[in-house]
Amino acid sequence: MADTKRETERKFEFTPADGKRAGKARREVPDLTGTAAVAAVSDQGTVDLDAVYYDTPDLRLAADGLTLRRRTGGKDEGWHLKLPVSPGVRDEVSAPLADTLPRALASLVRSRVRDGALEPQVRLVSSRRLSHLLDADGALLAELSIDAVRAERGGTAASWTEVEVELADGVDPALLDSIEKTFRKAGLRVSDAPSKLARALDETGAAPPPPTADAAPEDGTAGAYVLAYLAEQRAALIAQDPAVRRDLPDSVHQMRVATRRLRSAFKTYRKVLDRAVTDPIGEELRWLAAELGIDRDQEVLLERIRTALGELPRTLVIGPVRGRLRVWNNSRRSDSRRRTVAALDSGRHLALLDSLDALLAAPPLRKHAARPARSVLPQAVLHDFDRLAERIAAALELEPGGARDLALHEARKAAKRARYAAEAATPALGKPAKHLAKAVKSVQTLLGDHQDGVVAREALRGLAVQAAAAGESAFTWGVLYAREETRARLDEEQLPGVWADATAPRLRAGLT
């Protein structure tokens, strides 16, 4: 079983007079009593820690800022996986001490490790002097660790002293700023290395390569910009994999968006990338998006129905409505959750990730890829915009009903593609593409609300049938259904105005 906690911390190191990185020598850490809310510093003694860090031979985890270790000593000995959240903030997922990597942690690095081998890369032996920073009531504010570290990698070793301050849960991060000011006066600076592992690799001559997503266009060509965008989305796809497995909020949605952005880019920039290579990958991305969609769509649907139910007067809620909604959701979510995780565990998913890596490593560029981005990307964006315009026009010509609902759904998909095309082109084209993307997003949002209503009405009808079969009143489900019909009508009435705003000539003037 794995446990998770969020770490908010800041690492410091001593700076010698010559400004170079401090090495083995330990200097005194100032007393923090009186710094901000720190009223007392309680010495917790010294403990010896022995940690072995695992990674692939090409350091895939380290390249993305992850650390995986097996540590003995201290109160939390065991296996620890640290996943970056933001600068200075990481989620630590831990599992009990065992000879081999626990399955719960292995699954969280699967998108990066895949079929590669995890091997010991670095051993860190530390002597840690631990103190608690307490407020006036004796409550824990933070832990202060002074670590004398020795790193061993092959026949190379390095030593240094590191000072770390980790906040207790719920403590204002501003405390770290106050401590940093005190430390700077004593010759301590914020460490350049985000982790002990990163410094150990650096000082033993094995720094990991930069993430693929860090690659930036160098020559201003269409190919360079498109590949940079694809690399960014590929990185997002991989990064969301462990988040989806941990069932973090919005993770399924974000992973699904990455798959859609990749597919859209393949279609939009067909003059840049060879379809013979991208089409098969696009089909696999569509498969993954569909598998993720089962879980995500249920999440969105539940929230819509629950919100609408909460807006009803209590006099209109008749029967065990909330109980039936809960049972209905649990049964559907349980199945969808299992299916999502199974898809991520499948060899098909790993093959998809490998194919994306291969595409970025040896991109199938066409002639237009070598042309300036400003001459190629606008044409692609405007082509997708024209495609959206055709679908909007076709939908608005239809009478309200099932055919129009379907046409509006197709228009919604076209709006996504046009928006993604403009967003992908924004680094090269600047404000014109950015403004067009924003306008198209408004259209997409309206059409998305309409489609969610179509799906909700079908679900509400099913819930009403279930309630009636169980001898319950179906009245409330009927009321919610009627409200969805009204909401859909209002969406359709707003569409011409929203679309008119999106088609303002000034929005496309900068792209022509």
CB 59 within 8 A of CB 121: yes
- Measuring CA to CA, which residue among 426, 402, 413 is closest to residue 226? 426
Displacement of CA 68 from its chain's centroid (Å): 19
Q: Is the pTM above the cut of 0.95?
A: no
Q: Indicate whether 25 pLDDT > 50.
A: no
Structure tokens at 472: 């319950």
Q: Indicate whether 217 pLDDT > 90.
A: no
**If residue 217 lies in a helix (H) or strand (E), which one and from where to where?**
none
By mean pLDDT, which of 12-16, 333-337, 359-363, 388-392 is the weakest? 333-337
Domains 3-203 and 213-509 equal at CATH topology level: no
Residues 6+ apart with CB under 8 A from 99: none
Please report which confidence band the pLDDT of residue 334 belongs to, taking 50, 70 and 90 as the band edges: confident
Q: Identify which has the larger pLDDT, 311 or 216.
A: 311
* CA pair distance 292, 244, nearest whole angstrom: 9
CATH domain 3-203 topology: Hypothetical Protein Pfu-838710-001 (2.40.320)
Average predicted confidence (pLDDT) for the chain:
93
At residue 250, what is the residue type?
D
Rounded to an integer, the average pLDDT of 50-69 is 95
Handedness of CA 281, 283, 286, 292 (dihedral sign): negative
CB 442 within 8 A of CB 422: no
Give me the DSSP letters along 226-252. Answer: HHHHHHHHHHHHHHHHHHHHTT-TTHH
Q: Phi, psi at residue 279, to the nearest 5°?
A: -60, -50
Rounded to an integer, the average pLDDT of 319-327 is 95
Structure-token match 């005190």, residue found:
182
213-509 placed in CATH 1.40.20.10: yes
* CA pair distance 109, 433, nearest whole angstrom: 36
Q: Phi, psi at residue 51, to the nearest 5°?
A: -125, 135
Q: What is the pLDDT of residues 446-461, one digit of tens each?
A: 999 999 999 999 999 9
Instruction: Break the chain into its structural domains and give their ranges.
Output: 3-203, 213-509
pLDDT at 20: 54
pLDDT at 210: 65
pLDDT at 333: 77
pLDDT at 209: 66
Give me the DSSP letters along 465-493. Answer: HHHHHTT---HHHHHHHHHHHHHHHHHHH
Residues 6+ apart with CB under 8 A from 283: none
Handedness of CA 84, 87, 89, 95 (dihedral sign): positive
Q: How many CB atoms lie within 10 A of CB 64?
A: 19
* CA pair distance 74, 55, nearest whole angstrom: 23
